[in-house]
Amino acid sequence: MTNEKVSIHGIWASRWVFILAATGSAVGLGNIWKFPYMAGAYGGGAFVLVYLCCIALIGLPVMLAETLLGRRGRQSPVNTLRSLARQSGASERWSWAAMMGMLAALLILSFYSVVAGWALDYILAMARGDFNGIDGAGAGARFDALTADPLRLTLWHTLFMLLTAFIIGRGVVAGLERSLRILMPLLFVLLVVLLGYSLTTGHFMEGVRFLFHFDLAKVPEGILAAMGHAFFTLSVGVGSIMVFGAYMPRKASLGSTIITVGLLDTVVALTAGMALFPVVFAAGLEPSAGPGLMFVTLPIAFGTISMGVLFGVVFFVLVAIAAWSSAISMLEPAVAYWVERSGKSRPAVTALMAVFCWVVGLGTVFSFNLLADARFFVTNTDGWHFFLWTSEGGKTFFESIDYLTSRIFLPLGGLLFVIFAGWVLDREVFRGELALKHPRLFPVVYWLLRYLAPAGILIIFITELSK
């Protein structure tokens, strides 16, 4: 019997619970809401191709690094990196990487909660039958009316934040497992139902061609966007997976666990894309519609099929739950850290963090209405302007937070995590922790982690900067 270290925050019952929690974290608005509209904005196939490569060659190695580091350190990401760095004779400043990730996760949560609030609003609207027989223009107007109303957005945002804080306040290990075991499969079944509907639109192949027609010439355009989204969708680069890894039992095999999570996430995203785009084309909408895409296309589908009201309600409930299981994983790294650091109770720490995210989230709420003209990152002929009051160019508050987190913080965090696992952590510690079933694969995995993943991230960063 070794004197194994256990996290003070709890431990999963088995490897399966980790898979459920990590999949719960990974599968969320990123797959159903963000992936389709980003694919739409960046022209489809070329984006999807880069995205898939980034998942396989960069995202999965980062996920492996995070899980392994978390399980080895058994603390919040910040303290895990600090103690592992100390044991390896490296600078404790490595913990800053996790600090940055922790902040990025809170910033993501601030807008994620607002969008999840849209889904809550749609549950009600569906139930009322607002969408029966609606067309593209009507669905668009309905969405615009929602985002134009700051009070309604704030209400839903508040409710979602409370739901998230409630689970984290009680602790992640209890409560999560039972619900996810049932809900995740159900979400997938409903996506397949929607896929069935999209087959009847007569535009199914058009949708598939849009997603899978890989035009290599278009690849450079959205390359950073695709890499950023690969990080976002897998929940890596911020410490969410690392903190869940800290609650993982020692015996579990890491490789197959991570591949399972990555595959499930990818399958859900592609299914969502194939369910949505045929509806887009059938209704004569633009694939590049932006963040409203899912909230405009899905009502059309549900407004047409029989029992659409029932399916619609259930679907948006599931979307909200998928968002919820992701949201809790954004809060956990910061809460775990603050509990360790301050010794204060978990509920008190949770409340503090949730209030911070709620306040920042108001910026996103208002970026769709009152402050729609407040633009950051505005460029004009004189070069860079940080901030400008204009309706053209630049990025709204919501777009700025999304841009900063997905395109910069996540890839940077991921880069530092793989470098730490590959170069700072002792090779034999890594090998032992990984415990591959087929030890002959070790050099391949280690090479991916040490060279390919970091090089890939750097190359994409540099390509983007030199544009």
Residues lying near ligand PHE in the complex (CB under 6 A) are found at 25-26, 28-31, 105, 108, 232-233, 235, 238, 240, 326, 329-330
As a whole number of angstroms, the distance between CA 43 and CA 417 comes to 31
Q: Does 24 participate in binding Na ion (rule CB under 5 A)? A: no
Q: Choosing among Na ion, ligand PHE, none, which partner's interface includes residue 164 (Cβ < 5 to 8 Å by kind)?
A: none
Scan for tokens 């580091």, then name that residue.
69
Cβ-based nearer residue to ligand PHE, 106 or 434:
106
Judged on CB neighbours under 10 Å (0-12, 13-18, 19+), 262 is: buried
Instruction: Answer whether 239's CB lies under 8 Å from 63's CB.
Output: no
User: 376: which strand partners?
Assistant: 387, 395
Q: Choosing among ligand PHE, Na ion, none, which partner's interface includes residue 105 (Cβ < 5 to 8 Å by kind)?
A: ligand PHE
Q: Does 30 participate in binding Na ion (rule CB under 5 A)? A: yes
Q: Choosing among Na ion, ligand PHE, none, which partner's interface includes residue 326 (Cβ < 5 to 8 Å by kind)?
A: ligand PHE
Cβ-based nearer residue to ligand PHE, 264 or 282:
264
Cβ-based nearer residue to ligand PHE, 239 or 308:
239
Instruction: Answer whether 400's CB lies under 8 Å from 377's CB.
Output: yes
Cβ-based nearer residue to Na ion, 76 or 233:
233
Enumerate residues 6+ apart whose C-beta is below 8 A from 394: 375, 376, 377, 378, 379, 385, 388
Residue 88 C-beta: closest distance to ligand PHE, Å: 26
Q: Choosing among Na ion, ligand PHE, none, which partner's interface includes residue 289 (Cβ < 5 to 8 Å by kind)?
A: none
Q: Does 31 participate in binding Na ion (rule CB under 5 A)? A: yes
* Cα–Cα separations (whole angstroms), residue 97 to 80, 91, 179: 11, 12, 32
Residue 306 C-beta: closest distance to ligand PHE, Å: 30
Residues 41-70 that bind Na ion (CB under 5 A): none
Helix (H) or strand (E) holding 157: helix 150-170
Q: Does 240 participate in binding Na ion (rule CB under 5 A)? A: no
Residue 383 C-beta: closest distance to ligand PHE, Å: 32
Judged on CB neighbours under 10 Å (0-12, 13-18, 19+), 319 is: buried
Q: Choosing among ligand PHE, Na ion, none, which partner's interface includes residue 240 (Cβ < 5 to 8 Å by kind)?
A: ligand PHE
Residue 4 C-beta: closest distance to ligand PHE, Å: 27
Cβ-based nearer residue to Na ion, 84 or 236:
236
Cβ-based nearer residue to ligand PHE, 103 or 378:
103
- Ramachandran sector of residue 175 (left: φ over 0; alpha: ψ -120 to 50; beta: rest): left
Q: Which stretch binds Na ion (CB under 5 A): 109-117, 261-269, 355-363, 373-381?
A: 261-269
Enumerate residues 6+ apart whose C-beta is below 8 A from 156: 114, 116, 117, 118, 120, 121
Cβ-based nearer residue to ligand PHE, 218 or 229:
229
Instruction: Give the CB-nearest residue to ligand PHE.
Output: 30
Scan for tokens 């996540």, then name that residue.
410
* Cα–Cα separations (whole angstroms), residue 34 to 37, 409, 421, 445, 449: 5, 18, 30, 30, 27
Q: Choosing among Na ion, ligand PHE, none, which partner's interface includes residue 434 (Cβ < 5 to 8 Å by kind)?
A: none
As a whole number of angstroms, the distance between CA 362 and CA 162 comes to 15
Residue 323 C-beta: closest distance to ligand PHE, Å: 7
Instruction: Answer whether 184's CB lies under 8 Å from 27's CB.
Output: yes
**Binding-site member from 20, 22, 26, 225 for Na ion (CB under 5 A):** 26
Q: Does 110 participate in binding Na ion (rule CB under 5 A)? A: no
**Binding-site member from 233, 240, 266, 329 for Na ion (CB under 5 A):** 233
Alpha-carbon dihedral angle through residues 48, 53, 59, 62, given to the nearest 10 degrees: -160
- Phi, psi (deg, nearest 5) at residue 302: -70, -30
As a whole number of angstroms, the distance between CA 29 and CA 111 comes to 11
Q: Choosing among ligand PHE, Na ion, none, which partner's interface includes residue 330 (Cβ < 5 to 8 Å by kind)?
A: ligand PHE
Q: Which stretch binds Na ion (CB under 5 A): 183-191, 219-227, 265-273, 413-421?
A: 265-273
Q: Choosing among ligand PHE, Na ion, none, which partner's interface includes residue 238 (Cβ < 5 to 8 Å by kind)?
A: ligand PHE
Instruction: Answer whether 225's CB lies under 8 Å from 349's CB.
Output: no
Chain residues that interact with Na ion, rule: CB under 5 A: 26, 30-31, 233, 265
